[in-house]
Amino acid sequence: MGVPSGEIIARPMVARACGCLQEFQHYTVDKYREQRKAKFQKTRCPVCVAKLVEEQRIAATLPKKGEAFKSLPTGAQISMVRRADNTWTGTLIADGTTVEAVGEGPQGVTLALARNWLLARGAGKATPAAATPAPAAAAKPAATAATPVKPTAVAAAPKPAPAPKAAPSKAKPV
C-alpha cells in the first residue's frame, strides 16, 4: 500500500527535522503523498541519522549506566520525543551543554544522552571520532561542542498528524 509509482513530476526541496533541505519527489501516482511528506519532514536526513548513530556508537564506549547518570550535574534535564518512524529522540540539557540522541527506545536514548553529554564534556577524548563522513557544518571533534539542537526539530511534535497512517485492516474493533 502507498507505494508511489509512475514518473517523478516534481522535486521540491523540503526541510527535514534536522534542518537539512532535501529533495522530496512527487510521483504521478501517489495516494499518500501528504503522509509521506509529513513523515519526511518529521524525520532526519540519512546523513544526520548516520551522524547521530555514530555519535551514539562512540558514546557506547563511555561509562556504564550507573556511572554515566551519576556523572551528570544537578539540574540536568532530559526530554524525549517519539518520532513518526518509531524511534525516539532525546535531548539532554545540563550545565549549558545540550546533546541529542536517537534510539529505538527511551531507556537506550536516556543512557546515550548521558554518555553523549559526558563525551561533549571531553570524557571520550581517546576516541577521535573515527572517519565520520560529516558535512562541513558538523565537522567538529566529538569531544568539544554540544550537538546543536534546532528548536524547530523538537517542536515538530504537538502538531497532529494530517491523517492517521492508513490503519492496517486487522485493527481491533473496540
| Chain positions contacting Zn ion, by CB under 5 A | 18, 20, 45, 48
What is 24-73 written as a DSSP string?
Answer: -PEEEE-TTHHHHHHHHHHS--HHHHHHHHHHHHHHTTS--HHHHHHTSP
User: Minimum CB separation from Zn ion for residue 123, in Å?
Assistant: 26
Q: Which is nearer to Zn ion, 20 or 76 (CB)?
A: 20
User: Minimum CB separation from Zn ion for residue 28, in Å?
Assistant: 28
Q: Which is nearer to Zn ion, 14 or 76 (CB)?
A: 14
Q: Which is nearer to Zn ion, 15 or 93 (CB)?
A: 15
Give me the sign of the Cα torsion angle 64, 47, 21, 9: negative
Amino acid identity at 112? A
The number of residues in the chain equals 174
Q: Which is nearer to Zn ion, 76 or 84 (CB)?
A: 84
Task: Report the distance separating Cα 5 and Cα 26, nearest Å.
Answer: 9
User: Minimum CB separation from Zn ion for residue 73, in Å?
Assistant: 29
User: Minimum CB separation from Zn ion for residue 51, in Å?
Assistant: 8
